[in-house]
Chains A and B, each alone.
Chain A
Amino acid sequence: MIEIKDLHKSYKMGNNSLHVLKGINFNVKEGELVAIMGSSGSGKSTLLNILGMLDVLDEGSYTLDGVPIVDLNETKAAKYRNKFLGFIFQSFNLINYKSAAENVALPLYYQGVGRKERQEKALKYLEQVGLKQWAGHLPSELSGGQKQRVAIARALAAEPKVLMADEPTGALDSKTSYEVMDLIQKINDAGNTILIVTHEPDIADMCKRIVHLKDGVIVEDKIVDQVRASQYV
């Protein structure tokens, strides 16, 4: 699903350039649940941003679902993001003046889906994350866990090839974190490919594969026995 070869990325900081990613080779197959771990500054978020086409790479190649991601201009990146990717953020990033259902329907709007179908699909995905009765509520009326579940429903609504989650449990307490991880595991069970950036080992253990980043290179890449979150819920 994802193929990365010899990926380099550096940022210009005044006169110095900061070499963040120093040659990453990384493949993800369909249906995988991968945790990307590392301390802050290890380049894990940069990697996710490049994978998510929120940022561009300096060197190397990136292929997503057989499509080479090259020459990204903003319009092209927007189309790819809309078609291939669903994002889950640490701070949820819901649009605060739109109801839960409208937030979920937003990526469908940019896909050009009709209004009625958008609403139906939004409700379907809200039901999947267990928030159907909250469809008309604004994000400010929801708890942190509920917000993240709305964000997950939104990410799912576009039916993306890959879900990318940047510290999805970072702003949640552990009980809510496990609930969210339980949901993510279920979505993965249904066959979705998911990448999670996290620095919490217990969250990483709930994935099927852990990739450790340190100083811009992959130092460890291992398959683990998945801990089911449902036992903590």
Chain B
Amino acid sequence: MFSRDAWKEIFETIQKNKLRTFLSGFTVAIGIFIFVVLYGFGNGLTNTFAKFFGDDATNVFFIFPGRTSVPYSGYKANRQIEFDNDDLADIEKNFAMFVDYITPRISRNGLVKYKNESNNYGNMGVAPSHQYSEKTIMMKGRYINDQDLKDKTKYAVIGRLVERDLFKDEDALGKYIDIGGSSFKVIGVFQDDGGDNEERKIYIPYTTRQLIEKNTDKIDQMVLGFKPQIGYSGAMSLERSLEKYLKSKKFINPNDENGIFIRNIADQLKQNQQLASVLQLIVSFVAFGTIIAGIIGISNIMVFVVKERTKELGIRKALGATPKSVISTILLESIFITTISGFIGMLLGTVLLNAMGDTLEDYFITDPYIDTGIAVFATILLIICGALAGYVPARKAAKIKPIVALRDE
């Protein structure tokens, strides 16, 4: 069955029946190709989701003040809630078991000038631990520290793109920039994986910001990093008790949805990951549909091939071909073609995925790839199904009496 002669016979048959070879090969190659590409896109989609939420810490709550919607304990509805420095301290004290760090955020927007260059940037009054929640990476210099908070220093940490825009080729460290009319010394330059907007920001000590604004103690919002060990359920219960605590502290009706907002990244991340995996599931389903279509295609072609060869097989049988040799001729031929073209399709698909890389990032597909194991499995599945699909008509053909096959139409 695997003699050199048998293979030579098969090669000759393949060479001399180019259309047939092409048709069956093409079906298999295109099936595998589409499978690989679709599956790769699915993985690319998952990558995008991972990347979206990968740049910020995931053990973080964002706490925003809102306006009350119902009157409560003597206060009217539609009251603006505000946070101040006491709230920071109280949370840190009361939830010390769970809280890793807490930092305020006071966001302002304004013109920033250096020499003749100026531009509008968002600046943010923060505490040192804000570096962890944003996963800010220092390129040079340092981040804001506790001493800066205490001394209310006019120090600024600027983003990579701010430095590029304002300083061109100059080194920004130690230079003074004008932020909304006050002069700040640049003590650090950072980068951030979250994209260009993240790198067009300026961080200053929040105490400095409060000093500039008439020595207020108000803060815009709070970012709370909880200890990762408390896990997903711990985070959810922390969120609930935190909300309850703040509502009672600020005299908000416990059922009022609008007084305080807590955005829980862990919860969002989980939902998004679920969405991504559902998408991946759908894409995989479509991809396997392609494989099924490929199997049906190759089966059809095998039936057609055997039908077309009935007379030839009759001749071969009259010349002394045994049923076994008839079946093995057809099967080996089909396995050979599907194997070669299957791996060609797989290779082309993989090469295409690699070549695309980041070009489809705008369509939420990042670094599409396919596990070699899955690609090989799909290819082998198609080969086996092609062989099975060929076996049934081949066995039938081998059973046909030569006189029937040779009868002149």
Per-residue CB contact flags for chain A residues 60-79 toward chain B (1 = under 8 Å, else 0) read 00000000000000110011
Give the CA-CA distance A102 to B12 in the complex, in Å. Answer: 10
Residues on A with beta carbons closer than 8 Å to the beta carbon of B319: 81-82, 87, 106-107, 110, 154, 158
- Whether A75 contacts B406 by the Cβ 8 Å rule is no
- Whether A106 contacts B17 by the Cβ 8 Å rule is no
Number of residues from B at the complex interface, CB < 8 A: 28
Residues on A with beta carbons closer than 8 Å to the beta carbon of B16: 97-98
Binds B, one of A26-34, A88-96, A179-187, A201-209: A88-96
- Whether B322 contacts A79 by the Cβ 8 Å rule is yes
Give the CA-CA distance A82 to B312 in the complex, in Å. Answer: 16
Q: CB-nearest residue of chain B relative to A112?
A: B5
Taking the closest CB of chain A, its distance from the CB of B218, in whole angstroms, is 89
| Interface size class, chain A | 20 to 34
Residues on A with beta carbons closer than 8 Å to the beta carbon of B314: 93
Given A55-B403, A97-B17, A98-B16, residue A75 in contact with residue B324 (CB < 8 A): yes
- Whether B408 contacts A54 by the Cβ 8 Å rule is no
Interface residue? B396 (CB, 8 A): no
Most buried by A among B314, B322, B323: B322
Q: CB-nearest residue of chain A relative to B402?
A: A54
Q: CB-nearest residue of chain A relative to B399?
A: A74
Taking the closest CB of chain A, its distance from the CB of B398, in whole angstroms, is 7
Give the CA-CA distance A102 to B320 in the complex, in Å. Answer: 15
Given A74-B398, A90-B408, A93-B315, residue A115 in contact with residue B320 (CB < 8 A): no
- Whether B311 contacts A78 by the Cβ 8 Å rule is no
Jot down 30 A-B pairs with beta carbons below 8 A, ordered by A.
Answer: A54-B318, A54-B401, A54-B403, A55-B403, A74-B323, A75-B323, A78-B317, A78-B321, A78-B322, A81-B319, A82-B319, A83-B320, A89-B406, A90-B408, A93-B311, A93-B314, A93-B318, A94-B315, A95-B312, A95-B315, A97-B16, A98-B12, A102-B12, A106-B316, A107-B320, A109-B5, A110-B319, A110-B321, A110-B322, A154-B319
Chain B residues near A (Cβ < 8 Å): 5, 8-9, 12-13, 16-17, 311-312, 314-325, 398-399, 401-403, 406, 408
Further 18 A-B residue pairs, CB within 8 A, beyond A54-B403, A55-B403: A49-B403, A54-B401, A75-B323, A78-B321, A82-B319, A83-B320, A87-B318, A93-B314, A93-B315, A93-B318, A97-B16, A97-B17, A98-B12, A107-B320, A109-B9, A110-B319, A110-B325, A115-B5
